[in-house]
Structure 1
Amino acid sequence: MMNPLSKTHLLGLSLAGLLFASCSTRETVVADYQVVPMPLEITTAQQASYLLKNGAVVYYPAGNEMMRRNAEFLAAYVKEQTGLELKLQEGDGGKNGITLKLGLAGENKEGYQLKVNADGVTIAAPSEAGVFYGIQTLRKSIDVAQGANIELPAVEINDEPRFSYRGMHLDVSRHFFTVDEVKTFIDMLALHNINRFHWHLTDDQGWRIEIKKYPKLTEIGSKRSETVIGRNSGKYDGKPYGGFYTQEDAREIIAYAAERYITVIPEIDLPGHMQAALAAYPELGCTGGPYEVWRQWGISDNVLCAGNDQTIQFMKDVLAEIVDIFPSEYIHVGGDECPKTQWEKCPKCQARIKALGLKSDAKHTKEERLQSYVIHEAEEFLNEKGRRMIGWDETLEGGLAPNATVMSWRGEGGGIEAAKQKHDVIMTPNTYLYFDYYQSKDTDNEPLAIGGYLPMERVYNYEPMPKALTPEEQKYIIGVQANLWVEYIPTLKQAQYMVLPRMAALCESQWCAPENKNYEAFLQRVTRLVDIYKLKGWNYASHIFDVMLELKPNSETGTLDATARTIDNAPIYYTLDGTEPTAASQAYTGTVKIDKACTLRMVAVRPEGNSRITKDEITFSKSSMKPITMLQPINKQYEFTGATVLVDGMTGNLNYKTGRWIAFYKNDMEAVIDLKEPTEISSMTLHTAVEKGDWIFDARAISVSVSDDNKVFKEVASEKYPVMKETDPNQVYTHELKFAPVKARYVKVYAQPEHKIPSWHGGKGNPGFLFVDEIILN
């Protein structure tokens, strides 16, 4: 197998293509096969190119409707990008055209071969879907070049996807998208070789699919009286909100997706996330209501009553209509985030637990086992209908349904556990693949998002095959999916901004062999894909064109070292006084060594317009850029660049996932700072981030000790703090400890996390996370 990234000849072609494209006197643009996703194997041939011109013929097999449709797609793509009109013709093809054909040998039905020589182009595959992916590669190889002929260099491409399930999810329950908007979303998936559309149709905030046996689900359940403003601020917009899809709408979307070889997988989330359904049919809840379609975000305690026979029948009736509408092998039943508080108090649920003989043990509560009973009932029903069930990783709680496929979203742990139990797994961990997370640290200049931090490089570098699994267990990892939850995404334009171009990074994880992945090369390829986004009028995030800045504390020189680059080597300019940088500012020529407090701002300057401006506030204290050692471990999940974060002169904002914070869990924080020489200090300031909903609490105690020899330490200050109340705000807390001036070389800072979350909280009794940043000594 050849490594396509080492093809210097192709890089030459790429440059040639750019030269042709930029020179308006030329009528020909040279195609470049360096596309997204990167094909498995590209072999260039020392033969004449093929010139694609107006009137070229696309041949497809006679009598094959899907291949005729493929030919139409190819002609439409070429016309859209170049203006060239191609003709369609049934038959095996002749010289000087593009031939689409079946019959290529290969186990992977979605693989294809693309061959170009002077006589024309041939795309062959074992299936119509494979031909479609070959068409996508050809389409992406051709630049957006209106009015130009296209020179296709001689090549043979052999390609196939790594995973059979390549998914993208869209939630339409929190905000509704029209049929045409959903079709546009499907077009976006097709461009990225994605073959599964996970359609999240129901939740506490809205029921979006018509169920004829239960008309109130859409009459009542699809409408909320108003919507909370921001992140559950307690204020509401006063505007009724609704929308749903008829069964005919759904079938129209299914057919549209199928033409593009995309299977629509519906999700009816149960037994939790059901308040919209309970608003329509209150008798299905534990209390009997009344309920309203939820106006706020989050997880409602009101869930289906598992002790009610009517509930199980309702579930089966709904799934029967879903199965009738959706031909997909898989039906998603959610199974996530189902609070058990109502079940614990409900006489019917407790009677059901008793009747089924369910018992709590060290692994699962009896209520978790009750949820497992509900999920088993759903799965058994779907299996009888010839379908397979998918659930989120919470379906592992209480014992997994026999044939269920698991979507691992809370990290990879659920997926690893399910694979070890020999269940199929789709990897969709929130830390890598939740596209509702912020994609920039500069959240003030981003649209409101749920939180988190997921830059494109992190998406790209995700490896879906856990090392914790044996090669035999890894076979159960059948796919990869990214998710878009839309609490804070009310429009398609904003949805596009959140997924593009992160979807390009996703599709390489789904499609490419891991040894062929290379982020720097990917960045070059994705810039060309952006041209298609622009042509289609799709809104995309332009972060990849910003200055990529790395700030590293250098304890040897006592400086913060700033290194910068851009995707296309555009010139970078910067200022240190907080003013806006322009082409007249200081040019960046190499590492900037910062040795005093400043505001660093950088911009990339291009003829078509400047990038967004980075902004970093840098402070200096006696601890800044000094050597630091941790005496207790940092939590691995939130270790980022490690202990130096605490002395890098920058304080994080409330987004604790940006890499500006480090976390401690199940152990205390103890850091020793080496001031390098005896230094007088009289205060220590430590910052903590609090996000109680994510189990992140303030410190319970902080102390400062000093030493001359890094062996014997003497405490100079300490404070204790009360347990947090429910009403205490989520924010960045600043803790300053003052003490009599003392001279010391080594300073130990200790902070104790919340070892036991208070009883008012859903995580009561568990340890809390402690997130800390910048230790300031003065």
Structure 2
Amino acid sequence: MSRPAPATLVRRTVFAWLATMGVATATPAVPAWSLLPQPAKVSPAPSGATEIADGAVIAVRGAEAAQVQAIADQLAQRVADTHGLHLRVVTTDAARAAITFEVDPKSGIADDAGYRITVDGNGIMVTARTARGAYYGSTTVWQLLTPAGWKRGAPVQVAYGTIDDQPRFAWRALSLDSGRHFQSVADIKKLIDWMSLNKLNVLLWHLTEDQGWRIEITKYPELTKTGACRKAVGLDAELTGSPDTPYCGFYTQAEARDIVRYAAERYVDVVPEFDIPGHSQAAVATYPWLGVTGKRPEVWTDWGVSPWLLKPDAKTLQFVDDVLDELMQIFPSRYLSIGGDEADKQQWNASPEVRAQMHTLGLANMDQLQGWFTTQVAGHLISHGRIPVGWDDELVAGATLPKQEVVMSWHGNDNERVALDAIRQGHDVVMTPQESLYFDHLQSDLPDEWAGPPPAASLQQAYDTEVIPAGASASEAKHIIGVQAGLWAEQMPSFAHDQHALFPRLAALAELGWSPAAAHDWKGFLQRMPAEIARYRALGVDYADSAFAPAFQVSAAPGGAFRVELSNQAKSGTLRYSTDGSDPTAQSTPYVNALVLPGKTTLRAATFAPDGSPLAAPRTQMLDDHTLLGRDGSALATCSRQPASRLEGSRPAQGTRPVYAVDIGNACWLWPKAPLKSATQVTMTVERIAWRFGDEAKDAVVRHTSGAAGEFEIHLDSCTGPLLARLPLDSAAQAKGQTRLDAHVAMPVGTGTRNLCVFATGDPRDGQWALARMTFLK
């Protein structure tokens, strides 16, 4: 047995001496382990703790010494960066070590990615069969050193006990879209770091899109000269600095190899995605012979589903094989994704040549033709020892995919019917349901929620994702090889936005992929989130606090006062508030029951963890004469009763960029039970957003307009009810950013609380109107 770690030995000796002197020695409270994802088995001891302090030694011994030393070096650097403790890595004198890594292929650990951690009087011992297992053990050690309430630079008491751990699924993935918006190499490396700390091990890298081709292919150099650039439409002009400067970006092969190397050091497999035959407009814009029409489209500036598909002929298949050959040289992964999703076949159906090919092949429809095309491509990969991966769309359409193809199932409706079909056809399946694991989707209905498409996928919805489809037998369930979240970047123009969308939902994904089903516990997960959020802050992650943020429900109270109820989405943490405009602290008054407050009050609220650390930043609610007479656009319902998208507006000269709740293609809102008594004026703040919504154009609602630029109309009771006000949009149509509109209200005598319909006339495809706020004045 090795000697106790020095810090532990000193602490025990001091306590023993004090006891002999008759001095009471109360043992300091030791924080409970707060680990995420939850390990497969945790066995905390009844008592005891080891201390890790500045200068503690990390020892490396056993097999794969070079790789394990690199892991120990990473751990030491991470602890220094986030905690301020400086640990020293050695390969000799292991008896003095506070933390020891040992790789022993005969150790009896359950999985190549598994590990055992023992914390006792000898310090922290990490045992694994492989360096991969040692790496995952190192991420758990880092979490042991950053428990709830940890303080930077202070020694850490780590409770005694044993952790036996291994992953539930082999594929624990994030899909990153670099086609719509481009991320720098440095930012992708940060993301890989953060993924690996939650034991995620696959980055599915979406590199080809309608809106941009992002990977250098030496045999086809025009792909990155032409296909990597699009016109700077809408907010892209702010990113480039001018509408005349195109939005461009691609990764050289050297940069991609660097990312692959960096990821491999953190046990993350980079799987490239070359999406075909759809999502190919940038490729056809580069080489028109790849398309069906022979025409050259522009690289797409819209979002949605483009009809520009690759032509399913021999020349195109040779192009695809050439691209795959270069991708296989760059990316050593066993897997390579060939997409296959959202292939709008209107051009194929309109082409006599493609229809003739379909009949020659004896196929009944274009979905079967896509299946044939995919089979040819998959065969090329299989012949080179690779495993094709693709989306489930063809199975949705009733066609088949090559048996060897791994299916990513994103159609989670109908109790995962498509995933079950894939399993029963013999495919391995990765579960990535859009309903809960598409992290570009909104996280809440808060008025300050960032831009994103509906419906909302909350932290709890992500956590409660059913990974094994209902109805799957035990043998069928074995074909579920993993779980994956998607980050589609139409509305993710910056890396800050990427982070906001991913965290903390990435923690929920991590637990789905790693932890055993029996450990699934939402309340336990919430109890472990304060420590995780503190780690985000230490790592510099710009996470979303939507699940914990205060929400205000305001109503009238007697005597001109206001009744305010506070809540948050996760129903977790302690809400604390102030009424003098100051930021609440951990010592501020806790919210217990509904508040009754006078007018001219600035109410601020924030959420705190049991250790006093913040879970959500303060939010503000002004209580004055305008509080109940005004509504943000995000607080109004859409006329279609469908959940609204949240779209970004132009950046103002000062302040933050506005975000609007908009039913795309239908600029119409409902305000139920609006307090209209004595109202004589109305003000509205609006902005016109560039139309770039692709296939949603066919559903746009066009309303008759009496002026060239249109107008906003406010109607009583319904959208065809009495007209209360008309606000012309001539000045707003020419403005960049928000414009304020004012009008007299033709209020019928005796009007009190009534329903309102508000809409913009004209064609939204000429510019989608957004409503920031409307307020009635008496």
Normalising by structure 1, we get a TM-score of 0.71
> Do residues 191 (structure 1) and 197 (structure 2) align?
yes
Q: Is 1:603 the counterpart of 2:605 in the alignment?
A: yes
The 10-residue stretch of structure 1 (539-548 or 160-169) with the greater mean CA deviation from structure 2: 539-548
Q: More displaced, 39-48 or 245-254? A: 39-48
| C-alpha deviation, 1:725, in angstroms | 6.7
Whether 1:313 and 2:318 are equivalent positions in the alignment is: yes
Q: Structure 1 residue 243: deviation in Å?
A: 1.1
Aligned residue pairs total 611
CA distance in 1 between counterparts of 2:467 and 2:325 reads: 33
Query: Is 1:442 the counterpart of 2:442 in the alignment?
Result: no
Q: Deviations over 1:214-270 (max 9, x none)?
A: 111111111113234499xxxx94431111111111111001000101000100000
Correspondence for 2:212? 206
Check conservation: 1:92, 1:99, Cα contact below 8 A.
Answer: no
Aligned to 1:334, what secondary structure does the other structure show? coil
Q: Measured at CA, do residues 230 and 437 of structure 1 come closer, stay the same or move farther in structure 2, by a change above 3 Å?
A: farther
Segment of structure 1 superposing worse, 240-249 or 449-458:
449-458
Q: Equivalences for 1:542-621 in 2 at 5 Å?
A: 542-547=545-550, 564=567, 567-572=572-577, 590=592, 592=594, 603-604=605-606, 611-613=617-619
Partner Cα distance (1:514, 1:395) in 2? 30
Tell me the secondary structure at the aligned position of residue 162 of structure 2.
Answer: strand
In structure 1, what residue type is equivalent to 2:429? Answer: V
Q: How does 1:596-745 map to 2 (within 5 A)?
A: 603-604=605-606, 611-613=617-619, 652-653=637-638, 726-728=700-702, 735=718
Q: For 2:153 and 2:221, locate their aligned partners in 1 and report how far apart those are by CA, in whole Å.
A: 53
1:270–1:572: structure 2 CA closer, same or farther, 3 Å change rule? same
Match of 1:370 in 2: 369
Give how far 1:571 is off: 2.7
Check conservation: 2:388, 2:406, Cα contact below 8 A. Answer: yes
Residue in 2 that maps onto 1:426: 430
8 Å CA contact 2:420–2:472 kept in 1: the answer is yes
Q: Work out whether 1:529 is the aligned partner of 2:514.
A: no
Asked if 1:503 is matched to 2:531, the reply is: no
Q: Provide closer, same or farther for how the CA distance between residues 200 and 92 of structure 1 changes in structure 2, counting only shifts above 3 A.
A: farther
Counterpart of 1:288?
294
Deviates more, 1:250-259 or 1:108-117: 108-117
Inter-CA distance 582–657: structure 2 relative to 1 (3 Å threshold): farther
- Kindly state the Cα deviation for residue 421 of structure 1 after the two structures are TM-superposed: 1.6
3-state DSSP of counterpart to 2:76: helix
8 Å contact kept, 1:28–1:150: no
CA-to-aligned-CA distance 1:167-224 (integer Å, 9 cap, x gap)? 0111001111111111011011011110000100000000011111111111111111
Summarize the alignment of residues 142-181 of structure 1 with structure 2, pairs less than 5 Å apart.
142-143=145-146, 145-181=151-187
Counterpart of 2:113 (choices 102, 110, 113) is 110
CA gap 1:280/1:84 in 2 versus in 1, 3 angstroms: same
Q: Quick check: 1:76 aligned with 2:77?
A: yes
Aligned-partner residue type, residue 537 of structure 1: G
CA distance in 2, matches of 1:172, 1:107: 37
The aligned counterpart of 1:745 is none
User: Amino acid of the residue matched to residue 283 of structure 2?
Assistant: A
**CA shift at 1:513, angstroms?**
2.1
1:57 deviates by: 3.2
Report what 1:451 is aligned to. 454
Is this contact kept in 2: 1:452–1:655, CA < 8 A? no
Matches of 1:655 and 1:503, distance apart in 2: 32
Q: Kindly indicate whether the alpha-carbon contact (under 8 Å) linking 2:83 and 2:538 is maintained by their aligned counterparts in 1.
A: no
> How far apart, CA to CA, are the structure 1 residues paired with 2:98 and 2:720?
78
Cα separation, 1, equivalents of 2:417 and 2:283: 31
Deviates more, 1:391-400 or 1:273-282: 391-400
CA deviations over 1:323-344 (Å, ceiling 9, x no partner): 1111111110110011111111
Q: Does structure 1 conserve the Cα–Cα contact (< 8 Å) formed by 2:320 and 2:377?
A: yes
Tell me by how many angstroms 1:615 deviates: 7.2
Alpha-carbon distance between aligned partners in 1 of 2:642 and 2:128, rounded to the nearest angstrom: 43
Aligned AA for 2:203? F
The 1-side partners of 2:591 and 2:85 are apart by 44
Distance between the aligned counterparts of 1:474 and 1:269, measured in 2? 27
Superposition RMSD in Å:
4.2
Shift in alpha-carbon separation, 1:90–1:587, aligned structure 2, 3 A: closer
Residue number in structure 2 paired with 1:39: 39
Deviations 1:454-479 (A, max 9, x none): 12111111121111212221111111
| Cα distance in 2, alignment partners of residues 267 and 614 from structure 1 | 43
Counterpart in the other structure of 1:323? 328
CA shift in 2, pair 1:545/1:605, >3 Å: closer
State the SS of the aligned residue for 2:274.
strand
Deviation of 1:84 after TM superposition, in Å, equals 2.7
CA contact (8 A) 2:64 2:131 kept: no
* CA displacement at 1:655 relative to structure 2: 10
Deviation of 1:605 (Å): 6.5
C-alpha distance in 2 between matches for 1:442 and 1:131: 41
Which residue matches 1:641? none
- Tell me: CA distance 1:654–1:205, structure 2 relative to 1, closer, same or farther (3 Å): farther
Q: Which secondary structure does the structure 2 equivalent of 1:505 belong to?
A: helix
Three-state SS of the structure 2 residue aligned to 1:399 is coil
Q: For the residues of structure 2 that align with 1:41 and 1:63, how far apart are their CA atoms? A: 26
Match of 1:270, SS state, is coil
Task: Report the counterpart of residue 339 of structure 1 in structure 2.
Answer: 344
- Give the whole-Å Cα distance in 2 for the aligned partners of 1:217 and 1:204: 12
For the 8 Å contact 2:43–2:163, the answer to whether it is kept is yes
Which protein, 1 or 2, shows the higher relative CO under an 8 Å CA cutoff with sep ≥ 6? Answer: 2
Cα deviation per residue 1:374-420 (whole Å; 9 max; x = unaligned)? 11111111100101111111132421212111111122332121012
**Aligned-partner Cα distance in 2 for 1:57–1:255:** 25
AA paired with 1:326? F
Q: How far does residue 600 in structure 1 lie from its aligned partner after superposition? A: 13
Q: Is the 8 A contact 1:97 1:121 kept in 2?
A: yes
Measured in 1, the distance between the counterparts of 2:267 and 2:591 equals 49
2:517 maps to what in 1?
514
* CA distance, structure 1, for counterparts of residue 30 and residue 73 of structure 2: 23
Q: Say which SS state the counterpart of residue 545 (structure 1) adopts.
A: coil
Shift of 1:63: 5.5
Deviation (angstroms), 1:591: 5.5
Deviation at 1:277, TM superposition (A): 0.6
Structure 2 unaligned residues grouped into runs of 5+: 1-25, 555-562, 624-634, 646-661, 670-697, 704-711, 723-778
Deviations along 1:106-134, one digit per CA (max 9) or x if unpaired, are 44222211101111211112221111111
1:94 partnered with 2:95: yes
Gaps of 5+ in 1: 1-25, 360-365, 552-559, 618-649, 661-688, 699-723, 740-778
1:381 counterpart = 2:380: yes
| Structure 2 CA distance for partners of 1:29 and 1:323, relative to 1, 3 Å | farther
Kept in 2: contact 1:115–1:122 (CA 8 A): yes
Is residue 299 of structure 1 aligned with residue 308 of structure 2? no
Retained in 2: the 8 A contact 1:224–1:242?
A: yes
Inter-partner Cα distance in structure 2 for 1:602 and 1:463: 37
The Cα offsets for residues 617-638 of structure 1, whole Å up to 9 and x where unpaired, read as 9xxxxxxxxxxxxxxxxxxxxx
Q: Tell me if 1:493 matches 2:478.
A: no
| Aligned mates of 1:656, 1:137 — CA distance in 2 | 46
Q: Could you tell me how far 1:523 is from its partner in structure 2?
A: 2.0
Q: Which moved more, 1:464-473 or 1:259-268?
A: 464-473
